[in-house]
Amino acid sequence: MALIMAFCTLIFNVLCLPLHLIKALGMYEIYKRVFPICLYRCSIIYNNKMHDKKKELFRSLPEFNRHGKQLTILEIGCGTGSNFQFYPPGCKVICTDPNPHFKKYLKSSMEGNDHITFDRFVVASGEDMGAIESESVDVVVCTLVLCSVNNIPKTLQETRRMLRPGGGFFFMEHVVGEPSTWTYFFQHVLQPPWYYFGDGCEIVRDTWKPLEAAGFSDLKLKHVEAPLLFLIKPHIIGYAVK
């Protein structure tokens, strides 16, 4: 099976040669302007299917509010702001994303979620959040983002740096399937084209491993099967405490 998977993956890599060339020539940046439109539509579908799971996950957010202070949430890879509707009333939200073209969608999302306060939008990757002060936020949120960062351990290191002592890191990520399944097989075979159409998304990551090794004082993590396309059915959901 491993040889067949490797052969099929090679075929798709060959078929993706034009995409490899486009990226090498720097023309892939054009797609980054279009990607927010695609993600906006996909986020609506994802939220509809994952509404109950998101609601359950973010129900614990108020627990990380320091007495008498406004809850400060920083979202890594905020995208179009699809998580805003699940945040508790009165909280302050700092949005970050490496793609500056999401900003106009954030404005629309904020207007539709006036129960929260928008602090600012920072163009930054998860691995380099130097614009955010250390121990300055109560909660960091990261959904469907660790699949596309260049360095998960570095992103988690930055997360721990930004969180105040006792702060929480909330996550919801699709991950690689069990090795003995067809999901695992097709995730690897279709990874080359998926990477480009998903703006760097990788569906073959065992994201729970760097989370377990990140050094959080407590980690609540569970594996679930999401009601989505079989390639992204395997998910991990939970939160960690600094």
Structure confidence by residue, pLDDT tens digits, 102-113: 888 888 888 889
Q: What is the pLDDT of residues 27-50, one digit of tens each?
A: 888 888 888 888 888 999 999 999
**What's the Cα-to-Cα distance from 16 to each of 44, 193, 210, rounded to whole Å?**
28, 6, 29
Bridge partners of 238?
Answer: 171, 221
Return the sign of the alpha-carbon dihedral for residues 51, 57, 53, 42.
positive
The chain-wide mean pLDDT, for the chain, equals 94
Nearest-CA neighbor of 148 among 106, 95, 203, 102? 203
User: In the structure encoding, which two tokens stand for residue 153, read together?
Assistant: 């351990």
**Residue 140 confidence (pLDDT):** 98
Alpha-carbon span 71 to 137, nearest angstrom: 8
**Residue 34 confidence (pLDDT):** 85
Q: For residue 169, what pLDDT band results from cuts at 50, 70 and 90?
A: very high
Which whole number is the average pLDDT over 95-123?
90
Which whole number is the average pLDDT over 85-108?
91
Percent of the chain residues past pLDDT 90, beyond the cut:
79
Residue 87 contacts residue 62 (beta carbons within 8 Å): no
Q: What is the pLDDT of residues 71-84, one digit of tens each?
A: 999 999 999 999 99
Nearest-CA neighbor of 138 among 225, 204, 75, 229? 75
- Would the pTM count as exceeding 0.85? yes
